[in-house]
Structure 1
Amino acid sequence: MNGEAYIKEAYQAILASDFESAIDWFEKAIAMEPDNASFHYRLSITCARSNRLVKALTHARTANRLAPDDPSYMIHLQRLEARERVLQAESAFSQESGQLYMAVALLKEAVRLDPLSVEAYMLLGVASAALGEYPEAVRAMQEAQKLNPLHTGAAALLEEYKKKLAVMLSES
C-alpha cells in the first residue's frame, strides 16, 4: 500500500465515524511519506476534531514547515494556536486574580491569530470586565456579537458592560 491508499482508508473510517481508525490510517500514510505536507494537514484536522490539540498542533506545524507557501496550512495552524491560547487563558481564570492579566494577553493573541473566534472575544470581554477595563470589555463583546449576532450571551454581556462603562465615565 502507498500513502494515498492509506488516505483513502482514513476517509472511509471518517465516513464511518471511526475517527480513531482514521487517525491510525493517516499515521500509516505519514509513515510511508513523512514529507507529505497534505498528509500531516489532514491528520491535524482529524486530531483537532477529536479534541487532540497537542497532536493536531504538531502535525499542523509540520505541514506548515513542509509547505510554508500554502495559506490553508497557515490558517489552520493559526486557528489551532488560537484555540491553544484560549485554553491557556481559561486555566488562568481559575488562578488568582493576578493571572487575569495573563489571560487577557493570551486572549488578545488568540484573536490576533483567529479573528473569527467568538469564544476568544467572549472570554476577552469577561476577563477585561473582571479587571474593570470596561472599554476593552465592550469592544470585545461588540466583536463577538458582530461575528455571531444571535449569541444571546454576547448581547447580554455587551449591555451589562455598556452600563458599567457609562457609570464609570459618569463618576470620572
Structure 2
Amino acid sequence: MSGNSNIKLAYQSILEHDFEQAIEWFQQAVLEEPDNAEFHYKLSITYARSNKLSPALMHAREAMRLDPTYRTHYNHLRARELVKKAGRRMEQGIGDLQSAAEMLKRAIQLDGLFLEAYLLLGVAYTGLRRYASAAETLKEALRLDPMREDARHLLQQLEQNELYSNR
C-alpha cells in the first residue's frame, strides 16, 4: 500500500473518532515514505491531539529536518512541553517559580500566540512579587484574547490589591 493510501485511511479513522487507529495509519505512511515531511507532520499533529507530546515532538522535529517550513509546528509543540514542565514546577512551590518563569518566557519566544504561557507567566510573576511584570503579561494575554475571563480576573485582583500600582 502507498503512503497516500495510508493517509486516506488515517483520515477516515479520524472521521470515525478512532484516533489510535489514525496514528497507526499515519505511522504506516511514515514507514512507507520515511523522507516525507508532510507524513511526519500529520502523525505529529495526531499524536499531539491525543496528548502524546513526546512522540509528537519527535515527528515534528523530523518533519522540520526534512522541510524547514514545519518549524512553526515544532516550536508550538516545544512551547507546549515547556508550559507543561513549568506548570509542574509551579505546583511544587515557591522555590521553583523562577525556573518556571524562565521556561514560560522561552515558551513565549517559541510561540508568541500561546495564551496559556502568558497566563502561567502572569501567575509566576505574581508569586515572585513581580507585580508590574505580572500585569503586563496578563495585559498581553488579554490582547491575544480579550474574552479570556481568567486573565481579566487575575489582572483585576492585582489592581484591586494595589499590588500592581505599588510595583
TM-score using structure 1 length:
0.93
- Deviations, residues 86-138 of structure 1 (Å, cap 9, x unaligned): 00101101223221000000000111111111111000000000000011100
C-alpha deviation, 1:147, in angstroms: 1.0
Identity among equivalent pairs (%): 48
Q: Name the count of aligned residue pairs.
A: 165
- Which amino acid is the alignment partner of residue 92 of structure 1? R
In 1, the alpha carbon distance for the partners of 2:133 and 2:157 equals 13
Map of 2:12 onto structure 1 = 12
Map of 2:163 onto structure 1 = 164
Give 5+ residue unaligned stretches, structure 2: none
Q: How does 1:13-162 map to 2 (within 5 A)?
A: 13-68=13-68, 70=69, 73-162=70-159
Give 5+ residue unaligned stretches, structure 1: none
Off by >3 Å, runs of 4+ in structure 1: none
- Which amino acid is the alignment partner of residue 93 of structure 2? E
| Comparing 89-98 and 99-108, the one that deviates more | 89-98
Q: What is the root-mean-square deviation in Å for CA atoms of aligned residues?
A: 0.9
In 1, the alpha carbon distance for the partners of 2:32 and 2:145 equals 42
- Which amino acid is the alignment partner of residue 14 of structure 2? I
C-alpha deviation, 1:39, in angstroms: 0.3
- Which amino acid is the alignment partner of residue 38 of structure 1? E
- Deviations, residues 63-87 of structure 1 (Å, cap 9, x unaligned): 000112x2xx111111100000000
